[in-house]
Structure 1
Amino acid sequence: MASKTLWVIIFSLVITNCVTIGYFTSKNQGQGAIPVSSSDDEQNEVIATIGEETITRDQWMNKLEEQFGQETLKELVNLHVVEELAEKYEITVSDEIIQRELAVYKSMYNSLDEEQFGNEQNWEQQIRYSILLEELLTRDASVSEEEIKKFYDSNKELYDIDETFHLSHIIVKSEKEANMVIEELNGGSSFEALALEVSTDEFTANQGGDIGFISTNNEYVPGAYLEEASSLDKGEWSGAIKVDTGYAVIMLHEKIEGKAYTYDDVKSQIRRQIALEQMEGSVSVDPLWDEIGVTWFYENK
């Protein structure tokens, strides 16, 4: 399997589980134990009325469990399995490694909008979870220094991060309209609200103008965006920019500096990647369940 293909597969696994893991982690940290029962009044509470028919909270919760219960419980079990085994084997992940991988993801993918993928804290939690899982699955794998160095030398472009900007834009038909947008922004108006109200780019207007993370080698945005973004500070917006469909105003959310990671920076990641390539089957927590001993509600269903 080509290295870039494996990289994309691993990244896709992160996307698939990001919101779920972030949700459970935040819930567990903020609320402690998960409630397992409720009063009869709560169960019989009417939460929707359709004509003469009603839907109770109990009916709603039963339907949720029927459709999502097994999958959701399994995600929660997986989280605890990985955390407990990581503690057992004294496997940790530094903030430096988490931030490096987050920067790589941002620079490679342009659609990391908050609505679809959750906030950055959830991303950090999921990256940590994924690295712990990979370390657990590959802890007994034998990968030579020579293999790791050869992979690095053959795939250095994977570890060269281009300067990247997280941008939003508002597109209008004329320079006069663009200047009016700038006046409203200077007066305290919300960029997201203005994008939704006046931007002619319907696709991004619904996202508050967010166009994601744009690297300097991106060919799908106007070059003027990148030139202008390089001179902006976080939270600042540009002047009117001439584009094919009219005029644009952009805002910078975040700037990621370009960097070429050294062999020592990514050695452990490459070791895991090679070991995962050698594994049979998919990257999964399932093999760890027997080791730690898991019993659960759906076991005999």
Structure 2
Amino acid sequence: MTDQQLVAVVNGKEISRGDVLKFLNDMGPQVAMQFQSPEGIKRVIEEMVNQELLYLDAIDQNMNQEPEFKETLEATEKNLLKGYAFSKLVEGIDAQEEEMKEFFQENKAAFSQPETLKASHILVEEEDKAKEIIQELNDGLAFEEAAANYSSCPSKEAGGALGEFGRGQMVPEFEEAAFNMEIGTVSEPVKTQFGYHIIRVDAKNQADEPDFEEVKDQVQQQVLARKQEEKYQNKISGLKVKYPVEIY
């Protein structure tokens, strides 16, 4: 079966297999997956026929001559032309291997994975209460149970688990204590603006500095975006000279 094979004809308008495939592609892969069966293809063809009938009826009723339609058409055409003009402007821009490597060297920190850890905590108002809880933990009380029983933080519902976080995401006192602890250890009471924390470090992920090949695709995207933006801004600067602009 070729793409030109007809699947329907509506008032002389031919609908081919290729038209059906394009219709499916325009849906996007996730939606199109629902119509891959013979029954699904039949539904797509029926919908294409329905849309063609609706189009013919709209023409018969001169809807294309209505002022509201013309305004919508003009706005749509304008937006499409803007997008097309930008596509033509940046057409052919690519990222060379050397400039990608140079960009990577200059921006290594942006591609590095910072040190992170997973921790749980129990938050109480008084230091003495925190010390009592630590004693209970030392006597065998499970940390998760203690969090559920005593913590004032909503994380108590998850046994005190705070998930994974990096530096700069917690208050300084909490962060300093947590990042200096060993995995599986429980802290002494740590005072912050929120109260007293008993911290347990559950896991640590060391900082990772990837090599160029590991992040090459990301580097390429950023280099292309930077070059496209540069060309776009240069074009706009020239157009501002050509056409008068007033910004209020």
TM-score (norm 1): 0.39
TM-score (norm 2): 0.47
